[in-house]
Amino acid sequence: MTSLAPADVGHRFLGSLAVQDFERLASELSDDVRLRAVLPGDTKEWHGPDRVKATFVRWFGNTKEFELLDATVEELGSRLHMSWRARVSADRLGEGRFTVEQHAYVDTDEHNRIQHLWLACSGYLAEDRPARNAAK
């Protein structure tokens, strides 16, 4: 059996997200996974693979369009840093396209599955919104 690099779990997780395969994404989570998220205006926490998977389905499932624009995985000591930016359109968000960016720090278990996931989210930002400092 070959040993997996710690970053492999991050690449598999983001690969699953890119194709919206939430079952495969959940297979990268440990049985006692914990997700803590700083969201615009709130902080939330979920425990267990089913609840964490359901959270990613709520955030990134049921879309008209979904495109992973950028994704990175980096080893940071014993922890992983993952980040991704996606473009989505969905009825629940309203008209147009939205960009969302998330950064996560991850601890893995002895089976190289995600055990702790600390995440910060930009929120869904409308792409057709004029820039704040646009010239007049």
Determine how β-strand 79-89 pairs with β-strand 29-39: unpaired
29-39 vs 114-121, strand pairing mode: parallel
> Which of 111, 122, 95 is closest to 9 using CA atoms?
111
Condensed to tens digits (0 to 9), the pLDDT of residues 13-42 reads: 999 999 999 999 999 999 999 999 999 999
What domain range is 67 assigned to? 7-126
The answer to whether position 71 is within a domain reads yes
- Banded model confidence at residue 1, pLDDT cuts 50, 70, 90: very low
Q: How far apart are CA 13 and CA 24, in angstroms?
A: 8
40 three-class SS: coil
The yes-or-no verdict on residue 58 having pLDDT over 80 is: yes
Q: What is the mean pLDDT of residues 3-18?
A: 88
In a domain, 136, yes or no: no
132 in a structural domain: no
pLDDT at position 47 over 60: yes
Q: How many domains does the chain have?
A: 1
Residue 40 token pair? 């615009």
Residue that the structure tokens 């998220």 belong to: 37
Decide if pLDDT at 3 tops 70.
no
The answer to the question of residue 83 being in a domain is yes
Q: CA angle, 99 as apex, 97 and 68 as ends, to 5°?
A: 100
pLDDT reported for residue 136: 47
Of 62, 59, 66, 79, which Cα lies nearest the Cα of 10? Answer: 79
Flag whether pLDDT at 54 surpasses 50: yes
Assigned domain for 134 exists = no
CATH number for the domain spanning 91: value is 3.10.450.50
22 located within any domain: yes
The pLDDT of residue 132: 59
| Interval 91-136: pLDDT, tens | 999 999 999 999 999 999 999 999 999 999 999 999 986 555 555 4
- In the chain, where does DSSP find H-type helix? 7-18, 22-26, 49-60
The answer to whether residue 63 sits within a structural domain is yes
Tell me whether residue 2 is in a domain.
Answer: no
